[in-house]
Amino acid sequence: MQKFKKIIAEEIAKRSADAFGGTALEPNEIEELLEYPPDASMGDVAMPCFKLSRTLRRSPIQIALSLEEALAGADIGVSAKALNGYLNFKVDDAMLADQVLSDVFAEGASYGSPRIGEGKTVVLDYSSPNVAKPFHIGHLGTTIIGHSLKRLHEFAGYKCVGINYLGDWGTQFGKLIVAYRKWGSREDIEKGGIDKLVELYVRFHKEAEENAALNDEARLEFSKLERNDPENIELWQWFIKISLEEYSKTYSQLGIDFDSYKGESFYTDKMPAQIEKLREMGLLKLDDGASIVDLSEYNMPPCLILKRDGSTLYPTRDIAAAVYRKQEYGFDKCIYVTSSAQSLHFAQWFKVVEMMGYDWYSELVHVPYGTVSINGEKLATRTGNVILLKDLIAMAIEKVSQITAEKNPDMSEVERAKIAEEVGVGAVVFYYLSNSRIKDINFILEDALSYDGNTGPYVQYTYARTCSLIEKAKGIPAPEKYSVTTEEERELLKVLALFPEKVSAALEAYEPSVITHFILDLAAAYNRFYHNCQILTHEDAEIVKTRVALTKAANIVLGTAFELICLKKTKQI
């Protein structure tokens, strides 16, 4: 509807001087006031006149009435009506259909793109599991939100670099090396994969409770790893390979890939230069043997750079990584998608980057998200504290497969398996992204898999419905002139018209749920239209053509919106 807002704002600005005795209003000023009425019967767009009272020295009611009179006879395809200090606008049916459908069909899958990123680069750091540990449901947030933000930025024209900043360094590898040599075998690991690595890691901690000397052994083995001991390097690389093979299965199911897998280990030789820079600038201070940057002036705890023993910490690596990424990619924005529990960590090292004189510090963006529980319970599995993401997805796929078999007993097993995976994975993704990212989520699988509620299966079913109708409508040409005759058609057009604004809002707030909610609105509007309007069977051929065109437009926009939140475009359910 942004196009209609601009038309209205420009027309009001053009006529405002005459309406208010020479006082002219600016189009931008007017456009900022325009909003959508809560009740569609009031109009398509409304302008509250209360903020103009002081400038124009008139009551809101007088302002609205004066503008209604000034706009009378304006040939812009929009009518105006004053009501209680509001000026309500209604777009002409023919103009609404022509503008919206023409734009959708002309732009196709690009419809809705704000095109603000052309010539700019965005780096996105997301997912980033710890190697040799399971990909659990806690990673769903960073992975799905991160990739959706990548697709949103790509849609807006940005060149995007998706980075999986693997947790592939640290004392845990010393523990794993010790555990493997004491209790593991190559055959078991090759057969059991990451689950066997987890078993070894868990066993190490249990054994270390009785034998504290194991921790000293682990530190020694990690120290050897840091000094490039060939045997330890070989084991470490093998653990990474096994982990990535496991992660890649989940990424493949989610339709996600990355441009870089450079983990923490990649930056070990890049940290000394940043530490030296901090020292030369007088920012590094000793505090009980540790090296810190004092942030008390900014009401934050100190940022730890080096431990007492001289080893580095997460902020040290993050600073080195940010400097490398700026040099390597020349980013205009670098986005980090992590738990809200890490908000202080990012605020601290972002401030250190600023204090170091890097003028691109303002291009660093932390996108936090809330926690996940399952059916209201704390997360817990055989690993002791998490539910594996692969298990959750497998459960969703199995349940969808059962439902599909009941609904379509004659469907081939191959086709049913394909649909079950697309809808099962989609249900998990959609349920998660239906919530504001900062809110804690209680994941209820039965609710996520419902075909009746505001769920992934419901919207995928709606998309499949548009595909089916388009297939049946083959050979029906586009109308020479659109014929809008019902409120359901109008409402569908208005929702379609909102897509560009929703994309911009999602980008501005780093909030994929804006798109998810739009998809629900569009699915609801289309289903009302589908159930209440004869589409292929109406006696008027021009109305049939218009309604087929509306279905095609809904199909295009739903498909584009699905892509933005990593949802598969399933053509049959």
User: What's the CATH code of the domain at 12?
Assistant: 3.30.1360.70
Residue 516 lies in a domain: yes
Q: What is the pLDDT of residue 157?
A: 97
Lowest average pLDDT, out of 42-46, 442-446, 529-533, 538-542, goes to 442-446
Band (pLDDT 50/70/90 cuts) for residue 377 is low
Q: Which residues contact 190 (CB under 8 A, 6 or more apart)?
A: none
Please write down the HEC assignment for all residues of 14-52.
Answer: HHHHHHCCCCCCCHHHHHHHCECCCCHHHCCEEEECHHH
**Residue of higher predicted confidence among 379 and 441:** 441
Listed range (220-229, 292-301, 327-336) with the worst mean pLDDT = 220-229
- Supply the pLDDT for residue 159: 98
Q: Over the stretch 445-465, which tens digit does the pLDDT of each residue have?
A: 888 888 888 999 999 999 999
Q: Is residue 77 part of a domain?
A: yes
The per-residue pLDDT for 525 is: 97
Q: Clarify whether residues 419 and 526 are in a common domain.
A: yes
Length of the chain: 573
Q: Is the pLDDT of residue 198 over 80?
A: yes
pLDDT for the residue numbered 387: 77
Report which residue type is found at 361. Y
C-alpha span between 72 and 60 (Å, rounded):
18
200, 179 in Cβ contact below 8 A?
Answer: yes
- Co-location of 81 and 209 in the same domain: no
Residues 433 and 531 grouped into a single domain: yes
- Give the pLDDT confidence score for residue 54 in this predicted structure: 85
- Which residues are CB-contacts of 181 (< 8 A; sequence separation ≥ 6)? none
Residue 28 lies in a domain: yes
Provide the CATH number for the domain around residue 449: 1.10.730.10
The verdict on 63 and 189 lying in the same domain is no
Find out whether 42 and 83 touch, Cβ atoms under 8 Å. Answer: yes
The Cα 326–Cα 94 span in angstroms is 50
Instruction: Give the whole-number percent of the chain exceeding pLDDT 70.
Output: 98
Q: Which residue, 42, 69, 91, sits at the end of a domain?
A: 91
Which 8-state DSSP code applies to residue 165? -
198 with 82, same domain? no
CA distance 541 to 529: 17
One domain for residues 421 and 559: yes
What was the pLDDT predicted at 313? 86
* 65 vs 443: which has the higher pLDDT: 65
Query: By C-alpha distance, which of 557, 485, 470, 569 is closest to 522?
Result: 557
Q: Are 17 and 23 in contact (CB under 8 A)?
A: yes
Average pLDDT for 362-387: 73
Q: What is the model's pLDDT at position 73? A: 77
**Given a cut of 80, is residue 426 above it in pLDDT?**
yes
What confidence tens digit (pLDDT) does each residue in 299-317 have?
Answer: 999 999 998 878 888 999 9
**H-run or E-run covering 313:** none
pLDDT of residue 398: 92
Residue 233 within a domain: yes
Pair 314, 303: CB distance under 8 Å: no
DSSP-derived 3-state class of residue 520: helix
- Domain that residue 518 falls in: 396-564
Q: What is the DSSP track for 436-474?
A: -TTS-EEE-HHHHT-SSSSSHHHHHHHHHHHHHHHHHTT
What whole-number distance in Å separates Cα of residue 418 and Cα of residue 331?
A: 38
Higher pLDDT, 74 or 249: 249
> Residue 47 forms beta bridges with which residues?
87
Instruction: Give the highest mean pLDDT range of 35-39, 225-229, 333-337, 423-427.
Output: 333-337
Interatomic CA distance for residues 345 and 333, integer angstroms: 19
Instruction: Give the residue carrying structure tokens 């798109």.
Output: 515
3-state secondary structure of 370: coil
Residue 307 lies in a domain: no
pTM, full prediction: 0.91
The Cβ-side half-sphere exposure at 280, using a 13 Å CA radius, reads 8
447: which 2 tokens?
Answer: 């609710």
Answer with the one of 91, 121, 138 that is the final residue of a domain: 91
Under DSSP, is residue 124 helix (H, G, I), strand (E, B) or coil? Answer: strand
Specify whether 450 is located in the same domain as 551: yes
Residues 364, 336: contact at Cβ < 8 Å?
yes
Domain co-membership, 176 together with 38: no
State residue 74's pLDDT score: 80
Q: How much is the average pLDDT of 233-251?
A: 94
> Is residue 82 within 8 Å of 68, Cβ to Cβ?
yes
Counting the structural domains of the chain, the total is 3
Residue 127 lies in a domain: no
Closest CA to 529 of 514, 513, 543: 543
Q: Do residues 411 and 559 both lie within one domain?
A: yes
Residues 463 and 551 in one domain: yes
Quote the mean pLDDT of the chain: 92
Contact 319, 284 (CB under 8 A): no
Q: Which two tokens stand for residue 533?
A: 């309007």
390 falls in which pLDDT band (50, 70, 90)?
A: confident
Task: Compute how many other C-beta atoms are within 10 angstroms of the C-beta atom of residue 512.
Answer: 27
Q: Reading across the β-sheet that carries 45-48, which strands appear in turn?
A: 45-48, 86-91, 78-83
- Among the three residues 69, 91, 113, which one is the final residue of a domain in this structure? 91
pLDDT of residue 381: 37
Residue 376, pLDDT above cutoff 70:
no
Here the tokens at position 171 are 């004392």
Q: In a 3-state reduction of DSSP, which class is residue 83?
A: strand
**Do 416 and 560 have their domain in common?**
yes
Are the beta carbons of 547 and 533 closer than 8 angstroms?
yes
Say yes or no to pLDDT of 382 above 70. no
> Which residues are paired to 334 by β-bridges?
123, 364
pLDDT at 380 over 70: no
Contact 77, 3 (CB under 8 A): no
Which uninterrupted H or E stretch holds 511? Answer: none
- Give domain status of residue 477, yes or no: yes
Residue 307 is predicted with a pLDDT of: 86
Residue type at 326?
Answer: K
In a domain, 205, yes or no: yes
Tokens of 420: 């079950």
